[in-house]
Amino acid sequence: MDSVIRGAMIYLIMLVILRISGRRTMAQATPFDFVLLLIVAETTQQALLGDDFSMTNAAVLIVTLFGIDIGLSYVKRWVPWIGDLLDGRPTLLVCNGEIDKRALRKARIDISDLLVAARKQHGIESMAQVKHAVLETDSGISIIPVKSAA
Amino acid sequence: MNEPVEGLQVDADRRLQEKFWFWERVGWAGMLVLVLAALAGLTGASGPLSSGKIETGGASIDYPRISRWRAANTLSVRFSEAGTSGTIVLPKAFLDAFAIDMVTPQPTQVIATSKGQEFHFVLADGDAAREVRFAITPQTPAFPREANGTVSGRPYSFSFTILP
């Protein structure tokens, strides 16, 4: 019972912290972010396992974590507002060539981040060639170029 | 940019996003509060508020006010009254919540009573403070619980919390 409660609590804590840390975290992941991720994983492991290193405990925890994940994926399909709450919605950062500065500021994204995505996806040279830019729910930035740049 | 964008099929909702940004910042404030609370000792382990001290006249007790489940901690008793023996009764409420891993120095006698366990110690003669330490480990989460016992016959009381 203990393992299931621990697993569920850690899942919930991680879900809340990752959600409120914002999508920027993965959108502009740096090597340090990956190091941070490893540290978080190590810290979480201690809290998950406690002093029980048995295979039974590991199996119960893994099944619990995956079970919650599968369960939540169904809940998100059945109750759309929970999906919005947990995953959010895409955010328009550039619309018809117009930069939404407030959205950029709130999402902690710079023009340079948009340009990186634009260069990588379409070889775009300047913002003038960007028609739309969308911050996706998976933390990626999608760039839709103006027709002539495509 | 609240209106749907012509030609772009994207499920954006600016109102929802604005709400999220607001609550995101509330969450950051919560994270800051948690860090400050941890620095103050309100999450246990260390910090000025994580432990307490009580004086009973002949002795003082340093006790863990806020502990963390299964994290080692210490309860220390300083006998300042002249005499060659000291006694402390740890109440049942405390013993239910904490396991005693080690006692230094070793008690000469431990008596199980209806109120808890009575530890007897031999102390060096003199009125300088002599310290007895209990290495303890919280066994179960507990939200403010009272521990009422006696030290060298004088009653003491403190409350403790064990965070999960």
- Residue-level pLDDT at A23: 60
Tell me the ipTM for this assembly: 0.74
Q: At what angle do helices A80-87 and A55-78 cross, to 10 degrees?
A: 120
The verdict on A80 and A105 lying in the same domain is no
Q: Suggest the residue from A17, A106, A142, A143 to mutate for an interface test with chain B (most B CBs closer than 10 A).
A: A106
Are the beta carbons of B21 and A106 separated by less than 8 Å? yes
Q: In Å, how far from its chain's centre is CA A12?
A: 15
- Range of A38's domain? 2-87
Model confidence at B140: pLDDT above 50: yes
Chain B residues near residue A16 by CB distance under 8 angstroms:
27
A108 half-sphere exposure, CB direction, 13 A CA radius: 14
Of A38, A54, A87, which closes a domain?
A: A87
The verdict on A46 and A97 lying in the same domain is no
Q: Which of B5, B10, B20 sits opposite A88 (nearest CB)?
A: B20
Alpha-carbon distance of A33 to A41, in angstroms, equals: 12
The Cα of B23 is separated from the nearest Cα of chain A by a number of Å equal to: 8
Model confidence at B129: pLDDT above 50: yes
Chain B residues near residue A84 by CB distance under 8 angstroms:
13, 16
Q: Any idea which of A34-48, A135-149, B23-37, B96-110 has the lowest mean pLDDT?
A: A135-149
Model confidence at B12: pLDDT above 50: yes
Task: Give every CB contact of residue A119 below 8 A, 6+ residues apart in sequence.
Answer: A125
**What are the helix (H) ranges across B8-164?**
14-40, 92-97
The verdict on A13 and A67 lying in the same domain is yes
**What are the helix (H) ranges across chain B?**
14-40, 92-97
Are the beta carbons of B27 and A20 separated by less than 8 Å? yes
- Residue-level pLDDT at B3: 53
Task: Pull the structure tokens for residue B142.
Answer: 């507990």
The Cα of A145 is separated from the nearest Cα of chain B by a number of Å equal to: 12
Chain A residue with minimum CA distance to B5: A95
The verdict on A75 and A119 lying in the same domain is no
The verdict on A99 and A131 lying in the same domain is yes
Q: How many helices and strands, by DSSP H and E, does chain B display?
A: 2, 11
The verdict on A67 and A103 lying in the same domain is no
List the Cα angle B53/B56/B60 in 5-degree steps: 40
Chain A residue with minimum CA distance to B8: A132
The verdict on A104 and A140 lying in the same domain is yes
Kindly list the distances between the CA atom of residue A146 and the CA atoms of A34, A82, B70, in Å, as whole numbers in the listed order: 34, 35, 60
First-to-last alpha carbon distance for chain A, in angstroms, is 56
pLDDT digits (tens, 9 = 90+) for B66-98: 999 888 999 999 988 877 888 999 999 999 999
The verdict on A52 and A96 lying in the same domain is no
Are the beta carbons of A91 and B17 separated by less than 8 Å? yes
More confident residue, A29 or A144: A144
The verdict on A56 and A102 lying in the same domain is no
List the Cα angle A72/A76/A81 in 5-degree steps: 130
State the total domains in chain A. Answer: 2
State the CATH number of the domain containing residue A123.
Answer: 3.30.240.20
Of A33, A65, A87, which closes a domain?
A: A87
The verdict on A126 and A83 lying in the same domain is no
Chain B residues near residue A17 by CB distance under 8 angstroms:
31
pLDDT digits (tens, 9 = 90+) for A86-110: 888 888 999 888 999 999 998 888 8
Of A71, A87, A103, which closes a domain?
A: A87
Task: Pull the structure tokens for residue A19.
Answer: 């959600």
Alpha-carbon distance of A22 to A42, in angstroms, equals: 21
Chain A residue set in contact with B, beta carbons under 8 Å: 9, 16-17, 19-20, 22, 50-51, 84, 88-92, 95-96, 100, 103, 106, 132, 134, 144
- Residue-level pLDDT at B109: 93
The verdict on A66 and A113 lying in the same domain is no
The verdict on A33 and A68 lying in the same domain is yes
Q: Which of A16, A92, A106 sits opposite B12 (nearest CB)?
A: A92
Interface of B with A in 8-37 (CB under 8 A): 8, 10-14, 16-17, 20-21, 23-24, 27-28, 30-31
Q: Which of A20, A84, A89 sits opposite B24 (nearest CB)?
A: A20
The Cα of A89 is separated from the nearest Cα of chain B by a number of Å equal to: 6
Kindly list the distances between the CA atom of residue A18 and the CA atoms of A13, A24, A40, B50, in Å, as whole numbers in the listed order: 8, 10, 11, 28
Task: Pull the structure tokens for residue A91.
Answer: 């955010």
